[in-house]
Structure 1
Amino acid sequence: MNDPILLFGFTTAPLELISFVLSIITVVLTIRQNAWAWLFTIISSTTYAVVFLEAKLYGDTGLQALFILVSVWGWYQWLYGGDDHSTLPVSRLSRRGLAMSALLWLAGFAVLSLFLKHWTDTDVPYMDGFLTAGSLLGQLLLSRKKLENWHVWIAVDVLYVGLYVYKGLVLTALLYGLFVIMAIIGLRAWRRTA
């Protein structure tokens, strides 16, 4: 059912293709601050978890499970997380928030990298750990509609392109290249409303 197929000259799997389309829809809805983005995040995270598991990207597999949990919380936050349970507005992190975010990313990187190195058969424990921790931070910031989530996603997505090319997930590498462009668009759009 998920046998490789040839698409535009490169090999992919149907589930990777489905995940690709769902992820594009997710980011377009996110840029527009449409709360339905969270439903598409949940669905695309579920399908991508299977894709990453097959590629032995265990950090990314676990990240998809966390994305599902954070997405439920983020969906609620976007709808009711503002003052008096109103729609949550776009805001910026304070200096303290920026420092805490950096520390959270570093701590997550350290813990995840050590876990992946010693308890899995991945050949990229440090990159997988770093990007998994960064992605989790980006998702948490996105859930609270913090403008800085786009900065995190730009950094993470650029690095993911290389990782996915290395792992042979060419369609997903293309997706993350598109994500970089879309994150820049999202940053500009959200900056106008912050």
Structure 2
Amino acid sequence: MDLQHWFGILTGQLKETTVLQWIAVSLGVTEVLLARINNVWLYPAGIAATAISMMLLTESGLYAETLLNGYYIVMSVYGWMHWITKKNEPPIKISYSTRQEWKITLAIVFIGWGVLYLALRYFTDSTVPVADSWISATAWAGMWLLARRKIENWILLNISNLFAIPLLFHKNLAMFGLLTAFLFVVAVFGYFDWKRKYRQQLSA
């Protein structure tokens, strides 16, 4: 298929994009921009975006991603409360994952993938159980590393993003696909930014 064909598919999907998708994506972009300037309003924006996304993902049969977004809401509420109560405390330093942390990360990915796949395959009407469960499992692992301030979190999150982009377009969620592509780029910059900060820590 040529570029013009893919552009036609994208244009057609964008024309069919619902108002809720536009709102969810707009709030998602707002969250990222607020996070970049370290503004606490990123949390309510993110919670609203995620709540709407859960509704739309459920309608599209992406149940594992819906569950993943539910986790995002829980972590956003936790982050919001943590910000209010401990904003002035020094952050955990950035570091590389240890061998033990890699073992845990891989266990989260592959055990999570297997459990989610079986749940989707036998207890839902999902038409994409392999991809949906893989995207969620790698994102769970990435978020675990992110919470521990490990540089490799960006790698796991972008593995998830890389597979999520075509799946979202396949499910006619074009705006979510474009948002995920945007987040992919953000994560690439995040990876190199954290590596730079890690070197600065060592030389401090």
TM-score by length of 1: 0.83
Paired amino acid for 1:178: F
Given that 2:13 and 2:172 are in contact with CA atoms closer than 8 Å, whether structure 1 keeps it comes out as no
C-alpha separation in 2, matches of 1:89 and 1:80: 19
Larger radius of gyration between Structure 1 and Structure 2: 2
Q: Does residue 99 in structure 1 map to residue 103 in structure 2?
A: yes
Contact in 2 for aligned 1:75/1:143 (Cα 8 Å): no
Query: 5+ residue gaps in structure 2?
Result: 1-10, 199-204
For residues 105-129 of structure 1, the C-alpha deviation after alignment (integer angstroms, 9 at most, x for no partner) is 1111000000000010010011111
Mapped partners of 1:46, 1:165: distance in 2: 20
RMSD: 2.7
- Where does residue 64 of structure 2 map in the other structure? 59
Report the CA distance shift for 1:149/1:37 in structure 2 as closer, same or farther (over 3 A): farther
Q: Residue type matched to 2:110 in 1?
A: L
Aligned residues: 188
Asked if 1:12 corresponds to 2:35, the answer is no
- Matched residue, 1:157: 161
Distance 1:15 1:139 in 2: 26
Q: Show CA shifts across 1:126-160 (max 9, x none).
A: 11111111122222322333222211121111111
2: CA distance between counterparts of 1:190 and 1:39? 25
User: Which one of 41, 48, 52 corresponds to residue 47 of structure 1?
Assistant: 52
Q: Is this contact kept in 1: 2:157–2:187, CA < 8 A?
A: yes
3-state SS of the aligned residue for 2:16?
strand
**1:70 touches 1:140 (CA, 8 Å); kept in 2?**
no
The answer for the alignment partner of 1:127 in structure 2 is 131
- Aligned-pair identity in percent equals 27
Correspondence 1:1-194 to 2 at 5 A: 10-31=15-36, 36-75=41-80, 86-194=90-198
CA shift, 1:179, in A, is: 1.4
Code of the residue aligned with 1:150 in structure 2: it is W
The answer as to whether partners of 1:70 and 1:139 remain within 8 angstroms in 2 is: no
- Change over 3 Å in CA distance of 1:105–1:170 after alignment to 2: same
The DSSP-based 3-state class of the residue aligned with 2:136 is: helix
Q: 1:3-37, CA deviations, whole angstroms, 9 ceiling, x for partnerless residues?
A: xxx99953211111111122223333445565554
8 A Cα contact 2:14 2:174, kept in partner: no
- Unaligned ranges ≥5, structure 1: 1-5
Query: Contact 1:74–1:143 at 8 Å: present in 2 too?
Result: no
